[in-house]
Amino acid sequence: MENITISKINYWKINKKKFPAITVYDFSFAKLFSNQGIPVMLVGDSLGMTIQGHDSTLPVKVKDIEYHTKAVRKGAPNIFLLSDLPFTSYFETKQAIKNAARIIQSGANMVKIEGGIWLKTIVKELSQRSILVCGHIGLMPQSFNYFSGYKVQGREIKDANKLIEEALLLEEAGIKMLVVECIPALLAKKITESLSIPVIGIGAGNKTDGQILVMHDLLGITEGKIPKFSKNFLSKNDSIQNAIQKYIKEVQIGIYPDNAHSF
């Protein structure tokens, strides 16, 4: 695979070329997904649930993200790699700069942080230090307690307008990519069209620039309640490789997620 950069991803947005992304945590799967052509990967704090067995992302530490970022980078040296800054690790500017630097030095190209308007100063400070930042709005897993669980966001007009405002303010502050999670498809389309930066959706319809799934959801090995937007691409395929190829194809031609996997 050629080396994937933020400039390359911006080019895809300009030319309306949809791209697939995957949340992954280790060397072997990173290598597998890279070899199959996945250009963008995320080391998510979802590892707290998928790897560590917690019931939320909140217990994850910076050192956990560092460890898994190093492993994924070794397995996929040329992909564009995002890594989450976990809960409480970026609440103050100096703290955010220090922890983001640790993650970048572990091999990430970009750090991802959850939140809206309150992040404006932190995003500016990170950007001024050449640290690429991805925003994350809509359903924010680190706000699990605040939202009383995992619920669709932006269904009311005032809430939708607030999310659009936050997206625009975060872009103005300096984010270079945005993840929108569990919001209505029409709202995700509006946000994607309003921003000049790439927008990646998860549970946000098929009109975003890219799509991302947790690898466990893609392979149908998620335990417990399955999110509506998840699709098991392995169920009717005879190999993991074929499942990945089907995911890539359906994202690129815009048939995943369909109405059944959207809000």
Is 26 assigned a ligand-binding role in the annotation?
no
Distances (CA, A) of 23 to 29, 40, 44, 145, 219: 10, 9, 6, 23, 12
Is 64 assigned a ligand-binding role in the annotation?
no
Is 223 assigned a ligand-binding role in the annotation?
no
- List, in sequence order, every residue forming a beta bridge with 58; answer none if it has no partner: none
Is 112 assigned a ligand-binding role in the annotation?
yes
Active centre residues (catalytic): 181
Is 114 assigned a ligand-binding role in the annotation?
yes
Annotation: binding site for Mg(2+): 45, 84, 114
Annotated binding site: 45-46, 84, 112, 114
Which residues are known binding-site members for 3-methyl-2-oxobutanoate?
45-46, 84, 112
